[in-house]
Amino acid sequence: MRAEHAISIRYFTLLGIFVAAIIAFTLHAIEMPNHLQRPEFLTGYVMFGLMLLVALLNVRKKLSMVPIGRAAYWLAGHAFFGVMLIGLYFVHTQTIWPEGGYERAFAMMVYLVTASGLAGYALQRISPRRLAAADLEIIYERIPAELAEVRRKVQAIVLESTKESGADTLGRHYLESLSWYFRRPRFFVPHLFGLQAGQHWIRFQVQTIERYLSAAERAQLTKIEGLALYKDKIDLHYALQSVMKYWLLIHVPLAAALLALMFWHIIAVNVYAR
């Protein structure tokens, strides 16, 4: 428990700093008009600085050969400053949904980037535990090869069964139904949501064919069922590892678009402020 405890302390410390900073900053921004100052420039440039800081996580990943702090601290900072940006955005715009097309596009990007970031963060906290509980560990890139190996084994069992029994019952069922399952990863969405659709499907297939098989063929079917359940675990890995890898394909382009909008916003504000 000590490691998680240490991580929690770190996160709560950062959270405390985040809350304190946003309260102090908001109070200051509210107070500024009373001193005939415009808070928008201050809040805007603070947001600009924070956005660049948050975007630096990607640079940190490319610079793993130099000691510039542990990536875990960078990620924690990325998450907390990212959330802080939403608060700053409200202080900066003083609205949830601004007027004007450009401003609305900007707001939409802020919300989408934050939402995709939070979703990714949640995914990365939940999915590893589900994978660890699957009692199988497989490298993502190895999944196609492993599936091919499982398929080869199943086909060998089916062929052997057909040869030994002289009946094509199992072979026919394989061609009609089972081959669909063993062809590629299946039940992607159910696996994402923790549903047991894959296992249910396997049970249904076994029950469907079992009554037509001899004792020897049933023994072969049991072997196929074992391999199918093994593949179900691979499918779970495929689904969760895919999502853990590819959610960044949503978050990063959105963040890049937000940065582009931000730069344009700064140029426009400075040009029209004169």
Partner 1 sequence: MARPQRWDAPFGPEMTDTDVERLLTLPEIAAIERGKFPNHTPLVGVIKNDSRLVRFEAGDIVVREGDYGNSAFLVVTGKLRVVLAPKLPRELIGRQSSRRKGLLEALSQIWTNRVIPEVRDTQRYTDQKLRGSATDLARSQVFLQDVPAVLVDHKTAELGPGTLFGELAALGRVPRTATIFAEEGAELLEIRWQGLRELRKYDAGWRRKIDERYRQNALKVALRESPLFQGLNETELQEVANATLFETYGSFDWHVSYKRMREQGKAEQEPVIAREGEYPDGVLMIRAGFARVAAKMGNGQRTLTYLGAGDTFGIDELWAGRDGTDVSLQTSLIALGYVDVLRVPAPILEKFVFPKMKAPPAPLIERAGRPLTEDAPMEWAVEQRFINGTKSMLIDLNLCVRCDDCVRACASTHGGNPRFIRHGPTFDHWMVANACMHCADPVCMIGCPTGAIHRSISRGAVVINDTTCIGCGTCANSCPYNNIRLVEIRDVGGRPIRDPDSQKPILKATKCDLCETNPGGPACVRACPHDALRRVDFRSGDIFRSLG
Q: Which residues bind partner 1 (CB under 8 A)?
A: 1-5, 7, 61-67, 69-72, 74-75, 124, 127-129, 131-132, 137, 139-140, 241, 244-245
- Name which of 7 and 20 has its Cβ closer to partner 1: 7
Q: Does residue 11 contact residue 17 with C-beta atoms inside 8 Å?
A: no
134-153 CB burial, b ≥16 within 10 A, e <16: beeebeeeebeebbeebbeb
Q: What's the burial of 231, exposed, middle or buried (CB within 10 Å: 0-12/13-18/19+)? A: buried
Q: What is the nearest approach in angstroms of partner 1 to the Cβ of residue 156?
A: 22
- Name which of 38 and 70 has its Cβ closer to partner 1: 70
Q: What's the burial of 202, exposed, middle or buried (CB within 10 Å: 0-12/13-18/19+)? A: buried
- Name which of 155 and 242 has its Cβ closer to partner 1: 242
- Name which of 60 and 186 has its Cβ closer to partner 1: 60
Q: Which of 164, 176, 201 is closest to 186 using CA atoms?
A: 201
Q: What is the nearest approach in angstroms of partner 1 to the Cβ of residue 79?
A: 10
CA distances from 35 to 26, 151, 176, 189 (A): 15, 74, 78, 56
Q: What is the nearest approach in angstroms of partner 1 to the Cβ of residue 168?
A: 36
Q: What is the nearest approach in angstroms of partner 1 to the Cβ of residue 236?
A: 13
The residues, any chain, with a CB within 8 Å of residue 112's CB and separated by 6 or more, are 254
Q: What is the nearest approach in angstroms of partner 1 to the Cβ of residue 72?
A: 4
Q: What is the nearest approach in angstroms of partner 1 to the Cβ of residue 116?
A: 16
- Name which of 43 and 241 has its Cβ closer to partner 1: 241
Q: Which of 14, 26, 81 is closest to 53 using CA atoms?
A: 81
- Name which of 99 and 137 has its Cβ closer to partner 1: 137
CB neighbours (10 Å) of residue 162? 18
